[in-house]
Amino acid sequence: MATNGTKGADSATSKYDPDFTRNVINATGPKADPRTRKVLGSLIQHLHDFCRENEITVSEWMKAVDFINAAGQMSDEKRNEGQLVCDVLGIESLVDEITYKLTSEATDLPTASAILGPFWRKDAPIRQMGDSIILNEIPDGDHTHLYGVVTDFTTGKPIENAVVDVWHTAPNGLYEQQDPDQPDWNLRGRFFTKADGKFDFYCLRPTSYPIPFDGPAGQLLQMLDRHPMRPAHIHFIVSSPGHQPLVTQIFDRRDEHCTNDSVFAVKESLIVDFLPREGDPKAQFELKYDFRLVSFEAAEKAGVTPNAEQESATGI
Amino acid sequence: MATNGTKGADSATSKYDPDFTRNVINATGPKADPRTRKVLGSLIQHLHDFCRENEITVSEWMKAVDFINAAGQMSDEKRNEGQLVCDVLGIESLVDEITYKLTSEATDLPTASAILGPFWRKDAPIRQMGDSIILNEIPDGDHTHLYGVVTDFTTGKPIENAVVDVWHTAPNGLYEQQDPDQPDWNLRGRFFTKADGKFDFYCLRPTSYPIPFDGPAGQLLQMLDRHPMRPAHIHFIVSSPGHQPLVTQIFDRRDEHCTNDSVFAVKESLIVDFLPREGDPKAQFELKYDFRLVSFEAAEKAGVTPNAEQESATGI
């Protein structure tokens, strides 16, 4: 479509100053960093081509400016509307795929990554193995025992002191920072693996929910005649001092929105099956899920240093 | 470069899910407005192509999200940082060219338009013909008598009750809303033409100035190793009830930045020559500049209704 778009636009765009975009790109000075020069030059080219191909008018552009400013104005510590707008356009999932590919090309196939999303909070409480992250009474919630092992992708050995940082919504579809009725840090926690690499805790079988649609991201969905629903999922960041942090999500197969995610984050390898759990008064369901981390050494051998990238993805 | 970019990127992009972008675009529902479907589909395609061609990582994308949110957070009644970022990337000038071409294709060549910029204020004081818009003492300012006539582009007849809305900076390079030391509405005013279509008033010969570079737009300029200067110019919106409003700027030919505008707004037909003025104790310079407006009738005959566009451009 890009090629078609470019070709098809020739007649529509030829009436505009053929030197304009080149002049803007060439205004970049000699001291610009090479990556900046390449990336912003390409961004200018694409945005200008987009404007010409669609003959964007001043009025339409002004609406876009208002939209972008409104996203920033709505953003604060608890809400990142700029990120949400990108998510709705598939951009976070795409850059996640790109970043993952840059790593996995070199290291074969560790656990797949998925987008961070706008609801992670730094420094979640450290909890003891076997604890529950459910801080309030949820009588009819689908209580779940979630367990697994964190291993080194290359050696297969368990990783001690890996941190499993987990977060998900309450059954009402809200993360605790969105919901004044939930205790602070509800349904969040960090667990440190023991020498055997194992972790286990209690959480809820997750619930599908709409992304917040009271701001620009919601306007965008409405304009596109799209639903805001995300399939039920649990978020993780799994990290260890000697390994690249892994940002991912797992999705509940029974959820119809697995094929229909408003932010396009589902990957087949991240869809899981919750099983009925017998003989545990604390949980009706269980799920075993293992994480495979790529060591810095393996990453370096492969000539990639994507660690800094994933650290940034975790908001550090 | 667009074509080269697309070709060159084939090998780099083929490793990414070939269906992803189509899936995001096809998520658009049946009730989406056709223009919205076209424009946002094209935007998604261009942004995704941009990400793949440049292999944008999660870390780089997160910086962009922070950047966009910061632009919104900095924006208020007196400052539009989202607009300024677009200006630095040449986007306002480009959509201005597109909008102007859509009109002038049909109506030949009325006065050229130019970008509104982020410093216009609605409802400037109505002043009497021959008044000065200089509200404070500027002993060493280049005082200027500016005059001309507003005519109908098609008939050549003068337009009565056309509004000439004018604004420019003080010699320190600041608009009054940026500068607590200037009186409110300094160097701004609206003048109503008489039956002969004529207007005249006193202002200053304008000064080149840097756009505000203490925010994201400034960061962008720094990253691109570019200067923030705009050539000396005076802004106008000229309107009349039966005509399409004209948003434009005129530029002082003596200014070196006429070939080097940080927001790419200069057009040759908008560069003017200020002349020395004799025998007027109120001004050392004078400038005659006429405006030609396109009537609604002429626009409609030509099958374009760009008036709503330009009204929006004026912030209405």
Segment B54-70, tens digit of pLDDT: 999 888 999 999 999 99
CA of B269 vs chain A CAs: smallest distance (Å): 14
Which letter, b or e, does each residue of A38-52 get, where b requires 16 or more Cβ atoms within 10 Å of its Cβ? ebbbbbbbbbbbbbb
Question: Is pLDDT at B110 greater than 80 in this prediction?
Answer: no
Contacts of B93 in chain A (CB under 8 A): 20
- Closest partner residue to B99 among A45, A58, A312, by Cβ? A58
* Percent of chain B residues topping a pLDDT of 90: 63
Residue A316 pLDDT > 80: no
Do the interacting molecules here have an ipTM over 0.85?
Answer: no
Chain B contact set for A95 (CB, 8 A):
51, 56-58, 60-61
Of A65, A94, A224, the CB nearest to B51: A94
Of the candidates A29, A105, A312, which has its C-beta nearest B226's C-beta? A29
- CB-CB under 8 Å, B102 with A312: no
- What is the pLDDT confidence band of residue B299, given thresholds at 50, 70 and 90? confident
Share of chain A above pLDDT 70, in %: 89
* Cβ–Cβ under 8 Å, residues A113 and A246: yes
Res B313 pLDDT > 50? no
Contact assignment for B105 to A65 by CB distance below 8 Å: no
| Lowest mean pLDDT, pick from A224-238, B5-19, B234-248, B278-292 | B5-19
Q: Which two tokens stand for residue A11?
A: 């007649």
Residue B148, pLDDT > 70, answer yes
Residue B316 pLDDT greater than 60, yes or no: no
- Determine the residue among B44, B88, B98 to mutate to test chain A binding: the one whose Cβ has the most chain A Cβ atoms within 10 Å: B98
Q: Taking 90 as the threshold, does the pLDDT of residue B78 lie above it?
A: no
Average pLDDT over residues B213-239: 92
Whether A240 contacts A310, CB under 8 Å: no
Residues 6 or more apart in contact with residue A76 via CB below 8 angstroms: none
Q: Do B68 and A52 touch (CB under 8 A)?
A: no
Instruction: Count the alpha carbons within 13 Å of B218 in the hemisphere toward its beta carbon.
Output: 8
- Provide the pLDDT for residue B310: 41
What pLDDT digit, counting tens, does each position of B172-192 carry? Answer: 999 999 999 999 999 999 999
Mean pLDDT, residues B143-170: 96
Per the structure block, which two tokens stand in for A143? 């209580």
A175 compared with A299, residue with greater pLDDT: A175
- B109/B153 Cα distance (integer angstroms): 8
> Does B37 have pLDDT greater than 90?
yes
Question: Which residues from A are below 8 Å from B36, CB to CB?
Answer: 223-224
Separation between Cα atoms, residue A263 and residue B112, nearest integer Å: 43
Among A5, A37, A39, the residue with its CB nearest the CB of B42 is: A5
Tokens of B130: 């021959």
Measured in angstroms, the CA of B303 and the nearest CA of chain A are apart by 16
- CB-closest option in B1, B97, B315 to A45: B1
Q: Distance between CA A67 and CA B119 in Å, rounded?
A: 19
Q: By CA distance, what is A43's nearest residue in B?
A: B50
Rounded to a whole number of angstroms, the distance from the CA of B147 to the nearest CA of chain A is 28
- The CATH number corresponding to B106-313 among 2.60.120.10, 3.40.50.970, 2.60.130.10, 3.40.50.10490 equals 2.60.130.10
Residue B310 CB contacts under 8 Å (≥ 6 apart), including other chains: A58, A59, B99, B113, B244, B245, B246, B247
Domain range annotation of chain B: 2-85, 106-313
Residue B79's closest chain A neighbor by CA?
A69
- Check A50 against B46: CB less than 8 A apart: yes
What pLDDT was estimated at residue B102? 74
Residue A285 to chain B, least CA–CA distance (Å): 33
Q: Whole-number mean pLDDT of chain B?
A: 87
Residue with tokens 């923030």: B228
Using a CB-CB cut-off of 8 Å, the residues of chain A touching B10 are none
Chain B nearest CA to A150, separation (Å): 23
Q: Is the pLDDT of residue B22 over 50?
A: yes
Query: Least CA distance to B84: which residue of chain A?
Result: A65
pLDDT tens string A176-195: 999 999 999 999 999 999 99
Band of residue A6 on the pLDDT scale cut at 50, 70, 90 = very low
Pairing mode of beta strands A285-288, A271-272: unpaired
DSSP SS3 for B101: helix
How far from A290 is each of A99, A152, A176, A191, A272, CA to CA, in Å? Answer: 21, 11, 26, 14, 11
Only one residue has tokens 């669609």, namely A54
- Neighbouring-strand partners of residue A182: none
Comparing CB atoms, the residue among B3, B33, B226 nearest residue A28 is: B226
> Is the CB of A312 less than 8 angstroms away from the CB of B62?
yes
CA B10 from centre of chain: 37
Counts of helices then strands in chain A (DSSP H, E): 9, 13
> Is residue B50 over pLDDT 60?
yes
Mean predicted confidence (pLDDT) in A38-51? 96
Q: What is the pLDDT of residue B257?
A: 94
How far is the C-alpha of B129 from the C-alpha of B142, rounded, in Å?
Answer: 20
What rounded mean pLDDT belongs to chain A? Answer: 87
Does A78 have pLDDT greater than 70?
yes
Are the C-beta atoms of residues A218 and A212 closer than 8 Å to each other?
yes
Nearest C-alpha in A relative to B86: A65
What pLDDT, in 10s, does the model give residues B82-105? 999 999 999 999 998 888 777 666
pLDDT greater than 70 at residue A217: yes
**What distance separates the 2 farthest-apart alpha carbons in chain A?**
74
C-alpha closest to that of A195 among A225, A171, A162, A169: A162
Nearest CA-CA partner of A211 in A197, A196, A231, A234: A231
* CA-based nearest residue in chain A for residue B221: A28
In this predicted model, what pLDDT tens digit does every residue of A279-303 receive, in sequence order?
999 999 999 999 999 888 887 776 6
Lowest mean pLDDT among A40-54, A108-122, B141-155, B248-262: A108-122
Any idea which architecture A96-313 has in CATH? Sandwich (2.60)
Q: Strand, helix or coil at B79?
A: strand
Number of Cβ within 10 Å of residue B97's Cβ equals 25
User: Is there a contact between B80 and A69 if contact means CB atoms under 8 Å apart?
Assistant: yes
Interface contact flag, A16 B101, Cβ < 8 Å: yes
